[in-house]
Amino acid sequence: MAKYVFITGGVVSSLGKGITAASIGTLLKKRGFRVSIIKVDPYLNVDAGTMNPFQHGEVFVTDDGAETDLDLGHYERFIDESLCEENTVTTGKIYSRVIERERRGAYLGATVQVIPHITNDIQERLLKAGDGRDFVIVEIGGTVGDIEGLPFLEAIRQMSDRAGRENVLYCHVTLIPWLEAAKELKTKPTQHSVQELRRIGILPNILVCRTSYPMTEDMKNKIALFCSVPPEAVIETPDEPTIYRVPLSLHRQKLDRLVLKYLSVSCEREPDLSDWEQVVDRFMNAPKSVEIALVGKYIQHKDAYLSVVEALYHAGIAHNVKVKVRSVESTDVETKGVEAMLEGVDGILIPGGFGNRGIEGMIVTVRHARENEIPLLGICLGMQMMVIEYARNVCHLAGAHSQEMDPATVHPVIHLMEEQVSIDKLGGTMRLGAYDCDLVPGTEARRAYGADRISERHRHRYEFNNTYRRRLEDAGLKVSGICAERDLVEIVELPGHPWFLGGQFHGELKSRPIHPHPLFAAFVGAAIKKKGIN
């Protein structure tokens, strides 16, 4: 039977529940346990695929093509394992299955209710995730007290009967705010939040307290007393300069030991965290730095390009340089000029995106990078803009466009393939999840990966139009990666340029702090070379 660690949150959102869950996962995995992590999102959307990046930040995609909350990205980066559709549960998913079963008559005439039908469906999914695992960590999205989170809290409360009290542990992440006027940290919101949890029948075993200032022993004792946990179970998580320091900090406070103790699991082996220590050390103390411009269209939301920024950091860690990211809104390139926005950068990255806005700024950016020999990495939409720019300015295909931006274009160098058209209301199905890609010998892509065949994750509708392939290749743009199953162009690059490469997939989704993505590593390597600091 797997052991379950439930992570809830109180007082406010954005307390870093995801990082706490991921860190506990890391520590348990480093002790040799088989760990899985699940994110529960109480919203009604079936998945995160339809969500606006301005509201929700990036959509993370797994190998099996699930469009998920960005916390899954944290989990994968921390536990260094690929997750799948089953690692994400939403209210939308639960209700869809229950209603579908009800229509089939599977409930044999019973009145279908939140308790037990919805709560049972939740528990079935959690129990299934425990197959072949020692630990399942379950993060409940939202904050205790939210109406829509109640069925999930009830389900995890019932899990202590279903899985056995000795197999479940509740960890509550809460805030200890600093009151400037009183010059004091305040514990009352935490007490109230724990009371709210207890009111619905959950007695937290461990409290993880977010603070901006160190807590005193007295304060920890007070929280312990009021919230009925032992003082050792009051853990503090101060703001850290990098999230990768959190597992180290939690280990120092013996959180992993506590989890094992409360769940009666014996384990002599201490986790070997030397690789994490090196990641943190290099992130904080790298002697030199490069600056990369991130020219995107959702720059205002700090999490819209979360995995891209993390992948850049990972690449910096691999080279022992600090990567500074200059966020540039592509519409500002259009209005304020490319030179002004990109002056002095050592490399440029154009990430993914949807729709028309800002794409001309991206095309101008590509030209700037190509003509001024600045290393450029294009991801998905970024790669598509590299192809359009080349078609327009080097092949002189006036009006070369993507069908997404201009359905009537005469030169749709990026197009919607026939088999995709009119499958869904948005005008085509998405290519989602992992696809194999063959790399062409002698290319930068082949060199960077050091492999002939790779697998990368996709999330896009439009494709490179093979009608124009010959023309673009004759003009010097090299196709260096082809989808193994279908004749689709996956990577383009420009021989002779210091580093100019675009991929139709999202390499950032597979980058991990201890295994940086090969293209990001090669790209940052080129930026270092450009700056002349290698």
Please give the residue ranges that form the binding site for ligand GLN (CB under 6 A): 352-354, 380-381, 404, 459-462
- Spatial CB neighbours of 19, under 8 Å, sequence gap ≥ 6: 74, 78, 243, 246
Query: Are the C-beta atoms of residues 500 and 494 closer than 8 Å to each other?
Result: yes
Q: How far is the CB of 386 from ligand GLN (least distance, A)?
A: 12
Q: Considering beta carbons, is residue 77 or 459 the nearer one to ligand GLN?
A: 459
Q: How far is the CB of 203 from ligand GLN (least distance, A)?
A: 44
Q: How far is the CB of 89 from ligand GLN (least distance, A)?
A: 24
Triad 391, 393, 396: Cα angle to 5°: 65
Determine the Cα–Cα distance for residues 152 and 446; give it in Å rounded to an integer.
47
| Residue from 251, 415, 506, 517 carrying the catalytic annotation | 506
User: By beta-carbon distance, which residue lies closest to ligand GLN?
Assistant: 352
Catalytic status, residue 508: yes
**What's the residue count for the chain?**
534
- DSSP string for 174-223: EE--EETTTTEE--HHHHHHHHHHHHTT---SEEEEEESSPPPHHHHHHH
Catalytic status, residue 380: yes
Q: How far is the CB of 476 from ligand GLN (least distance, A)?
A: 24
Q: Considering beta carbons, is residue 258 or 379 the nearer one to ligand GLN?
A: 379
- DSSP string for 458-474: EEES-EE-GGGHHHHHH
Q: Considering beta carbons, is residue 31 or 392 the nearer one to ligand GLN?
A: 392
Q: How far is the CB of 342 from ligand GLN (least distance, A)?
A: 20
Q: Considering beta carbons, is residue 59 or 215 the nearer one to ligand GLN?
A: 59
- Residues facing residue 7 across a β-bridge: 139, 171
| Residue from 209, 380, 395, 437 carrying the catalytic annotation | 380
Catalytic status, residue 506: yes
| Residue from 196, 314, 508, 517 carrying the catalytic annotation | 508
Q: How far is the CB of 461 from ligand GLN (least distance, A)?
A: 4
Structure tokens at 67: 């469009």
Q: Considering beta carbons, is residue 82 or 420 the nearer one to ligand GLN?
A: 420
In 3D space, the residue among 90, 188, 186, 98 whose CA is nearest the CA of residue 142 turns out to be: 90
Structure tokens at 76: 């994968």
Question: Rounded to 5 degrees, what are φ and ψ at 376?
Answer: -135, 130
Q: Which H or E run includes 387?
A: helix 381-393
Q: Considering beta carbons, is residue 41 or 508 the nearer one to ligand GLN?
A: 508
- Token match 């803009």: residue? 385
Q: How far is the CB of 345 from ligand GLN (least distance, A)?
A: 21
Instruction: Tally Cβ neighbours within 10 Å of residue 195.
Output: 13
Beta strands across the sheet bearing 400-402: 400-402, 411-415, 463-464
Determine the Cα–Cα distance for residues 350 and 341; give it in Å rounded to an integer.
14
Q: Considering beta carbons, is residue 459 or 517 the nearer one to ligand GLN?
A: 459
What are the catalytic residues? 380, 506, 508
